[in-house]
């Protein structure tokens, strides 16, 4: 066994990526403080070829040197849009017939392992602030709240890890 060379990975060009079919998922970043987390969200969004990212509130926007460090060019391939408020973003997505899924720890949440996705549906996955999580108002508006099961003492994951876990779960269940 050997590690593959970059040339052997058959990566899409940015142009080919932009013209390719995307999975019907939008990430909504609700007031994310860390520029590294924003960059990581772009990189993961590129890896799973999602539709776009909505950056909301205090979430930083490209171009930015700190986002670029972790995004490694994904801000050029992944479509994004900025909304002054997460509420405006969610209302826009609801009008576009997305199922609104907040990723948060809440009463009556659905554990991620029990979540079912339907290929006919489009999904908006909302990830919240590193300290405060998804805003209460947004949790209340969600069609469903997904919770990633955790068994340690911290009961929280970094947002970039959470995005990867949830997108992988979606991919496994819809492929």
Q: Which domains does the chain have, with CATH numbers?
A: 20-174 (3.40.1280.10)
Model confidence pLDDT, tens digit, residues 93-110: 999 999 999 999 999 999
* CA pair distance 36, 59, nearest whole angstrom: 11
Instruction: Name the β-bridge partners of 75.
Output: none
Place of tokens 């490209």: 62
* CA pair distance 29, 22, nearest whole angstrom: 19
Model confidence pLDDT, tens digit, residues 118-167: 999 999 999 999 999 999 999 999 999 999 999 999 989 999 999 999 99
User: The pTM is what?
Assistant: 0.96
* CA pair distance 77, 43, nearest whole angstrom: 9
Question: What average pLDDT does the structure give for the chain?
Answer: 97
Place of tokens 């990975």: 9
Model confidence pLDDT, tens digit, residues 25-63: 999 999 999 999 999 999 999 999 999 999 999 999 999
Determine the pLDDT at residue 89: 98
* CA pair distance 81, 68, nearest whole angstrom: 16
Average pLDDT over residues 89-94: 98
Determine the pLDDT at residue 155: 87
Q: In the predicted model, is pLDDT for residue 82 greater than 90? A: yes
Neighbours of 164 (CB within 10 A): 18
């Amino acid at each position: 066994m050997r590690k593959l060379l970059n040339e052997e990975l058959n990566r899409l060009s940015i142009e080919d990526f932009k013209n390719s079919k995307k999975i019907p998922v939008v990430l909504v970043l609700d007031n994310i403080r860390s520029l590294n987390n924003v960059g990581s969200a772009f990189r993961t969004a590129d890896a799973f070829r999602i539709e776009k990212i909505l950056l909301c509130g205090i979430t930083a926007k490209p171009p930015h040197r700190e986002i670029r460090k972790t995004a490694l060019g994904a801000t050029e391939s992944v479509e994004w849009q900025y909304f002054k408020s997460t509420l405006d973003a969610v209302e826009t997505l609801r009008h576009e017939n997305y199922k609104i899924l907040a990723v948060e720890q809440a009463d009556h949440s659905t554990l991620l392992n029990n979540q079912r996705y339907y290929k006919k549906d489009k999904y908006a996955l909302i990830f919240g602030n590193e300290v405060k999580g998804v805003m209460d108002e947004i949790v209340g508006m969600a069609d469903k709240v997904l919770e990633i099961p955790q068994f340690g003492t911290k009961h929280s994951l970094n947002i970039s890890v959470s995005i990867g876990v949830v997108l992988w779960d979606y991919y496994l269940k819809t492929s």
